[in-house]
Structure 1
Amino acid sequence: MTDVLHTRIPFDPFDQPPLPGIRPFDMGDWLVADEAFAGQMALRDQLIAGRPEAVLYLEEAARPAAEELLDTVLQAIAPDAVDTVTRADGVRVSIDRANPMATLGRLVQEDFCILEKRGDEHVLTAAVLCFPASWTLSEKAGRPLLGIHEPVAEYDAGIAARVQRLFDGVRVGMPLWRFNRLWYVDAALHQPRRASERRPRPEPGVGGYLRSERQCLVRLERSRAVVFSIHTYVLGRDAVLAQGLDPRGT
């Protein structure tokens, strides 16, 4: 388990602005390969091979967007690749264009959700979600933003309208990012839960693991789909304190 944990996090997850907490970033900084790359990618390989029904989703109508996302990621990490990519951990990954979400999930640490405008709302039409933080892909697949965020108490109709406007406003080449933070009892990365299930929480100030997601919004040029990418950091409480972060009140 230790090879999927982080000793540092490149932002302060406790310095959190109000929802939706969005800020711009440079596309060159989108995809991150960090100290947990090898361990996280080995787990991703296992999940995609052994439990594809739990971690992959693709509506046929979303295939053009999924293929465009694969092309975009390949251009960023291996622009000369034709049939295979050699990852930073030495594993060779075949570029299977018939299964773009599975290929994406084996290339980088990020999970990807593709949301496309259907009527007045953006709907989840494709995903590779190996590291869910207490939600289940099958429950959210094909649903609009408000349905995806149920039953998050802070995500009321007002926030929903703001987030929909945000998705409408994401521009090509001008991506946005935010982060969250959650304390977990254990360090498992793959933690799906039904909407009716409660997440066990560590006692305040005692043990536990900080889980923080770097969440990015990227507009694809051809399909106009919005990509919601998730890079997951997990640190033990000692590592959080060693970095000089202040977890009080969380």
Structure 2
Amino acid sequence: MILQTRIPYDIHTPRPLPGVAPLGAEPWFIVDEVYALQMGERLRLLKDRRDDVIATDAPDPATVDKMMDVVLAQLPPEFSVSGRKVLCPDGRKVTIDRSDPFATLGQILQDDVCLMEKRGDEHVLTGAVLCFPASWRLCEKIGHPLTHIHVPVKSYTDDIARRVQRLFDGVRPGRPIWRFNALWYEDPSLHQPRSQSEPRPLTEMGQTPYLRSERQVLWRLPDNDAVLFTIHTYMVARASVPKIETPV
């Protein structure tokens, strides 16, 4: 089990869908207490299950290069970039391989990275490294627009879908936005792919052993319609989740 001991935001104050807020001065990427452990799991998945965790659908090469430039420029101070090498917080040195960009990012970041490019009227998932899916499969979503990606989320209505697309259209370079979710899980595994035809059984708050929360950031690439959707996964034991305070 790879568990954090805390989540750095209040999961008891969810926002109505789509639930976004400006990221402001907060860092895009975070290095938390289980960086080394999560990276060990990511490296295992990249080696043993690469086809499950990396997928592309003809992303624009210039956009992919811009993605790499932006992400590397936004690495937090725990990293050091020198030439084509990144020194990671756990002491590993990763070679920046622009011919294999998603695998490169998957070896550096705790975050999963999804590239959403504008095709027609919608943003489409054209590339991703997704090591820690929360009950969905990358192979079922790659090459599809936002409306398809969120099937079969019941709360994702047509109205919400239109609002989310407007959000992607409205994100501005240098003004990222973020949201979070909070889902109760029986299984603490980080890699939990699940087909949309076999949705995860619903669980009740406080009656299951683990809370899984994703810190999701939307970052618009400069001079481009593409948006990066990044996911930092927290998994904590129920005992580590702060209780809702009851007013006196």
Fold agreement, TM-score > 0.5? yes
Give the corresponding residue for 1:64.
62
Shift of 1:94: 1.3
Gaps of 5+ in 1: none
In 2, distance between residues paired with 1:79 and 1:40? 19
Distance 2:223 2:104 in 1: 20
> Is the deviation greater in 217-226 or in 109-118?
217-226
Q: Cα 1:222–1:120, aligned 2, differ >3 Å: closer, same or farther?
A: same
After superposition, where does 1:87-106 map in structure 2 within 5 Å? 87-106=88-107
Q: CA RMSD in A?
A: 1.8
Distance across 2 between alignment mates of 1:183 and 1:163: 24
The DSSP-based 3-state class of the residue aligned with 2:60 is helix
CA contact (8 A) 1:207 1:236 kept: no
C-alpha separation in 1, matches of 2:140 and 2:182: 22
Residue aligning to 1:76: 74
Counting helix residues as a fraction of each chain, which structure ranks higher? 1
- Whole-Å separation in 2 of the counterparts to 1:80 and 1:39: 22
Percent identical residues = 50
Cross-structure match for 2:17: 19
Unmatched tracts of structure 2, length 5 or more: none
Query: Is the 8 Å Cα contact of residues 184 and 208 (structure 2) preserved in structure 1?
Result: no
TM-aligned CA deviation for residue 95 of structure 1: 1.0
Residue 224 of structure 1 pairs with residue 225 of structure 2: yes
Aligned AA for 2:42?
Answer: R
**Contact in 2 for aligned 1:58/1:101 (Cα 8 Å):** no
CA–CA distance in 2 between the matches of 1:120 and 1:27? 31
| CA shift for structure 1 position 247 | 9.8
Q: Which deviates the most, 196-205 or 25-34?
A: 196-205
**In structure 2, the residue corresponding to 1:103 is in which secondary structure?**
helix
Following superposition, the deviation at residue 26 of structure 1 comes to 3.0
Matches within 5 A, 1:1-250: 1=1, 4-26=2-24, 29-77=27-75, 80-201=81-202, 205-240=206-241, 244-246=242-244
> What is the number of equivalent residue pairs in this alignment?
243
Residues 179 and 204 of structure 1: CA distance in aligned 2, closer, same or farther (over 3 Å): closer
Q: 1:116 to 1:203 in 2, by over 3 A?
A: closer
1:68 is displaced (CA, Å) by 1.5
